[in-house]
Amino acid sequence: MTPEELARRSADAMWAEDRASQALGMELAAVGPGRAVLTMTVREDMVNGHAIGHGGLTFALADSAFAFACNSYNRRTVAAGAEIRFRRPTRLGDELVATATERAVDGRDGVYDVTVTVGDDVVAEFVGRSREIGGAVWEDSS
């Protein structure tokens, strides 16, 4: 199995059980070794009292992209920490694109950068720290 196929199979297994990302209307646009791209459109129920997209939902999109990127090697991995910098507000109807890229892996620990964009505009920058916890995302039953 190629690294691309391994990443896709891992993503498919995770997506099948990821009720939160599905409920928020996220879509997995691309995945590969150490990388993932997810999209989400800002809906009416995602806008806060200032008539802008709720930052927690932008964080959730970035966190999901991070999760798919760091689990792309079929090694169960979770977040050990994350931070986000909001650069501009999102608006009702915006299509958010979260692009996660592996920065570094050292043993069971990793660091991933996620950029969230609307068109050509960067709306948020997220850094996630991951930790492998043992086991596989999916088991080969053949």
Q: 71 with 8: CB under 8 angstroms? A: no
In a domain, 141, yes or no: no
Q: Using CA atoms, how far apart are residues 15 and 73, in angstroms rounded to an integer?
A: 15
pLDDT at 5 over 80: yes
Name every residue whose Cβ is closer than 8 Å to that of residue 41 and which is 6 or more positions away in sequence: 25, 93, 94, 95, 96
pLDDT at 142: 61
Based on the structure, what is the number of domains in the chain?
1
Q: What is the CATH number of the domain that holds 18?
A: 3.10.129.10
Each residue's pLDDT tens digit, 15-55: 999 999 999 999 999 999 999 999 999 999 999 999 999 99
State the amino acid at position 56 in one-letter form: G
Q: Using CA atoms, how far apart are residues 129 and 127, in angstroms rounded to an integer?
A: 7
In a domain, 9, yes or no: yes
Q: What residues make up the domain containing 74?
A: 3-132
